[in-house]
Amino acid sequence: MWTTPGTLRPTRPATTRPIDYTRVLGTDVAAMPWLGRAIEYDMKARAERRLSAAALAVRLYQADHDGRFPPSIAALVPAYLPFLPADPFAANGAPIRYVILPGGLPDGRDRPLVYSVGLDGTDDTLTRGAATVPRVPCISYMKGPDIWVDLVRWTPPLTPEQQAAEDAAEKAAAAIRQ
């Protein structure tokens, strides 16, 4: 780097070309698979932080509105979120998504979720519906086409074998108490 006389600011020589980041990321990064995993991990962590912020905002909205969930994620701005968090996996910078699956919980209640489009960049929850959402509670990253976070706590129904084991454990505990 050179400095011009009388200044402390470095200047670039006129022969230096700007860096072509598309080429660098497309060739140099692609040749290093470990770096691709690091970028993927970073994007997942960003998605989880943004989904957590949106989930908290939805719960605050619910507390202020007699238990009702917001009609859309845009209803959270500006009272609960300063702006809609961007989905790090969406190619166009779209915000994270919010959906209420009617009757989606085992007890028949609606199942509200905030979600990201995931690694493939396509909104599978919107296109394929509730079939893509796991039947277990989503509280952190799960392998699937999208990344979901449940907004209500729930437990999946017990299988008959699990129910029988739980009943036997309750009987044994009652016998010990007597």
Task: Scan for tokens 């961007």, then name that residue.
Answer: 86
Helices (runs of H) and strands (runs of E) counted in the chain: 4, 5
State the Cα–Cα distance between residues 35 and 29, nearest whole angstrom: 7
Poorest-pLDDT segment among 14-18, 129-133, 165-169: 14-18
User: What digits encode the pLDDT tens for the residues 52-89?
Assistant: 999 999 999 999 999 999 999 999 999 999 999 999 88
**CA 20 and chain centroid, separation:** 31
| Cβ-contact 48, 141 below 8 angstroms | yes
Q: How many CB atoms lie within 10 A of CB 76?
A: 22
Tokens representing 136 are 């277990």
Amino acid letter, residue 52: S
Asked if the model's pLDDT at residue 140 lies above 80, the reply is: no
pLDDT value at residue 16: 65
Backbone region of residue 176 per phi and psi (left: phi > 0; alpha: psi in -120 to 50; beta: other values): alpha
Q: Confidence band (pLDDT; 50, 70, 90) for 128?
A: confident
The CA distance from 41 to 24, in Å, is: 20
- Per-residue model confidence (pLDDT) at position 3: 53
The single-letter code of the amino acid at 7 is: T
pLDDT at 51: 94
